[in-house]
């Protein structure tokens, strides 16, 4: 069966309203893309961080009446649609096509993120097997890449690592594969907890090495290394709690921060940490440092 695809050129502030309207009129999937057609793989929970020039793709069953669809959307929105284009697409194995476009990626010297269906390019390297997904981290986003590269450069042997906002668990699992003794993951989304647990199992991580908690269940204590790849606002608001989780002399890496937000985040942690120079990738930054003893 063919499919009908609706592509809309939108502004970020239109995203939530249009997404809700498209789902209400029967879209079977909604995807946000930038001008270069790169999908957003890991928006933070309850947020939609978008590029300034964003395309919204909605997929409908092919027998949908195009005229009625557009009219219904206009009625729901109470306004004309943004610039848009409709096209019919032949049926295909969408999952297979998407899988074919996701390839192993190296971060730093030792670490590879490898789709679970793909052979590892360097079998003797540190290979983290992962099934990519829309909601949680895959390593494709610059913020995740910055954290993975930082972890690869650390000496983690025998340490405990806390992944604050763990998503897919990619950072905690990477730390364990890179030599950490134990990891803790916490996230406000129960689906993130489940995804982290599944990915740990896929990578042969024993249950007693990776503890997962919702924030209200997280036990007291401090870790040798803390990573938090969330967003700038929560990183500033939660700075006292995050700082307290790092042992004196321990290390911290923060990401999910746009370049123009770096000064505010650094200021929230500067008194407690000796901060490294800010690292930047594609407009996103990582802030790291060592807690004063």
- Binding-site residue numbers for S-adenosyl-L-methionine are 144, 165, 187, 229
For the chain, what is the HEC assignment?
CCEEEEEEEECHHHHHHHHHHHHHCCCCEEEEEECCCCECCCCCCCCCCCCCCEEEEEEEECCCCHHHHHHHHHHHHCCCCCCEEEEEECCCCHHHHHHHCCCCEEECCCEEEEECCCCCCCCCCEEEEECCCCCCCCCCCHHHHHHHHHHHCCCCCCCEEEEECCCCCHHHHHHHHCCCCEEEEECCCHHHHHHHHHHHHHCCCCHHHEEEECHHHCCCCCEEEEEEECCHHHHHHCHHHHHHCEEEEEEEEEEEEEHHHHHHHHHHHCCCEEECCCEEECCEEEEEEEECC
Residue set of the binding site: 144, 165, 187, 229
């Amino acid at each position: 069966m063919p499919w009908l695809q609706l592509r809309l050129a939108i502004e970020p502030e239109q995203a939530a309203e249009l997404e809700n309207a498209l789902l209400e009129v029967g879209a079977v999937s909604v995807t946000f893309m930038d001008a270069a057609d790169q999908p957003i793989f890991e928006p933070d929970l309850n947020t939609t961080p978008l590029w300034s020039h964003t395309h919204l793709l909605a997929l409908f069953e092919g027998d949908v009446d195009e005229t009625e669809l557009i009219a219904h959307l206009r009625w729901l929105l109470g306004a004309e649609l943004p610039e848009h284009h409709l096209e019919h697409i032949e049926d295909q194995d969408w999952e297979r096509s998407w899988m074919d476009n996701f390839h192993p990626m190296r971060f730093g010297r030792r670490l590879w993120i490898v789709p679970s269906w793909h052979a590892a390019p360097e079998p003797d390297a540190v290979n983290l097997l992962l099934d990519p997904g829309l909601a949680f981290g895959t390593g494709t986003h610059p913020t995740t890449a910055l954290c993975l590269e930082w972890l690869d450069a650390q000496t983690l042997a025998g340490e405990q690592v806390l992944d604050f906002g763990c998503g897919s668990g990619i950072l905690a699992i990477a730390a364990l594969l890179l030599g950490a003794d134990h990891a803790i993951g916490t996230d406000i989304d129960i689906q993130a907890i489940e995804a982290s647990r599944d990915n740990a199992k896929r990578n042969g991580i024993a249950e007693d090495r990776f503890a997962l908690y919702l924030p209200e269940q997280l036990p007291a204590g401090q870790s040798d290394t803390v990573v938090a790849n969330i967003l700038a606002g929560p990183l500033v608001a939660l700075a006292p709690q995050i700082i307290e989780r790092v042992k004196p002399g321990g290390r911290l890496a923060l990401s999910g921060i746009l370049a123009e937000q770096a000064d505010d985040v650094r200021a929230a942690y500067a008194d407690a940490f000796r901060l490294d120079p800010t690292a930047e990738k594609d407009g996103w930054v990582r802030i790291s440092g060592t807690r004063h003893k």
